[in-house]
Amino acid sequence: MNRTLIIAEAGVNHNGDIRIAKELIVTAKKCGADIVKFQTFNPSKLTSKSAKMAEYQQVNLGRIDTQFNMLSKLALKHSDFIELASYCNRIGITFLSTPFDLESIELLDKLQNIWKIPSGEITNYPYLVKIANTKKDIILSTGMSTLEEVDAAIDVLKQNGSGKITVLHCTTSYPTAMQDVNLNAMLTLKDHCQCQVGYSDHTLGIEVPIAAVAMGATVIEKHFTLDRSMEGPDHIASLEPDELKKMVNSIRNIEMAFGNAQKLLTESERNNSLVARKSIVAAKYIKKGELFSEKNITTKRPGNGLSPMLWNSVVGKKAEKDFCEDELIIL
């Protein structure tokens, strides 16, 4: 049985406070996630000072401002990420952070063994090259992307020595409306890219990532927060701890339900088959020597006698003894 890699995306839901970041780590661990993921960036290297916030960020924050001002309040120091990685190691959950600039790649290369490339960087050539040069495995989100752009990014990564690439279907909308999810696109990516695929989810609730696992996702990424009412651009579209735990448990249940693909009776079914199936029995009193016919035999529960599939073998035979009504027929 393949085990789905579940990434609990803390992102910037720490609001720039390392104490909240550590609470998020503990929460992800308690909820059963495999990885807790953050975002590492230098605001001045990520965005120009005049770049406007995305519409969803304006809605979630209730104000119009620049990305630079917003991100400056959410950024952690490089030393904070070193401390967070150590903290993850200490409590037993894998640390991961997505870099958003070349300087952050250099920092994180020392702290993690895989990369998560966000959708917004899929067309950033120098970024892709620098990550590929580390030779580590990569999880690549494909929100806002065409197949041609996905192909181009994968080509750059492979040409520059990347490790194994897992491609995530993603809709970059916070929150994502159900009609925009298009989960079947994940299967298109699997066939087209000939690689493992997963799903990065921004819908409200947990149904879609669970469905993605049932469809073959090997990685699930989902934003979570300590409290959806906290101020910040991503809290509203994030799961609270009880929801995250429910999602993880549901995915693990789905994995168990996959089974081994063999069509066999389970032990529980063996017991139930005696109760639910039928046997050939006497429909009325039958004298010894009387011929069995459709008038004097029938099928009834339990299934501990002759199978009704032997009906034609029984009809026309002589009764070797007297049979009372409902008695199992024996030949």
- Residues 11-41 have pLDDT tens digits of 999 999 999 999 999 999 999 999 999 999 9
* Buried b / exposed e along 158-194 (16+ C-beta atoms within 10 A): eeeebeebbbbbbbbbbbbeeeebebebbeebbeebe
- Residues 250-280 have pLDDT tens digits of 999 999 999 888 998 888 888 899 899 999 9
pLDDT score recorded for residue 1: 53
* pLDDT confidence band for 56 (50 / 70 / 90): confident
Distance (Å, whole) CA 293 – CA 272: 29
- Residues in CB range of 245: below 8 A, 6 or more apart: 30, 31, 32
pLDDT score recorded for residue 63: 77
C-alpha closest to that of 117 among 103, 106, 133, 105: 105
Pick among 3.20.20.70, 3.40.50.2300, 3.40.718.10, 3.40.50.300: CATH of 5-258: 3.20.20.70
5-258 and 267-314: identical CATH topology: no
CA geometry: angle 244, 139, 17, nearest 5 deg: 50
Distance (Å, whole) CA 98 – CA 118: 7
- Break the chain into its structural domains and give their ranges: 5-258, 267-314
3-state helix, strand, coil split of the chain in percent (to 5) is 40, 20, 40
CA geometry: angle 152, 156, 157, nearest 5 deg: 115
Beginning with the edge strand found earlier in the chain, give each strand of the sheet holding 35-40 in spatial order. 94-99, 35-40, 5-11, 219-223, 197-201, 165-170, 137-141, 114-117
Distance (Å, whole) CA 170 – CA 220: 10
The values of phi and psi at residue 209, to 5°, are -60, -35
Asked if residue 280 lies in contact with residue 310, where contact means CB atoms within 8 angstroms, the answer is yes
Specify the higher pLDDT residue, 297 or 274: 297
Residue 270: both structure tokens together: 């063996």
Q: What is the mean pLDDT of the chain?
A: 95
pLDDT score recorded for residue 274: 87
- Residues 111-152 have pLDDT tens digits of 999 999 999 999 999 999 999 999 999 999 999 999 999 999
C-alpha closest to that of 314 among 285, 294, 286, 300: 294
Asked if residue 78 lies in contact with residue 255, where contact means CB atoms within 8 angstroms, the answer is no
CATH 3.90.1210.10 corresponds to the domain 267-314: yes
Query: Taking the CB of residue 298, how many other CB atoms lie within 10 A of it?
Result: 16
* pLDDT confidence band for 8 (50 / 70 / 90): very high
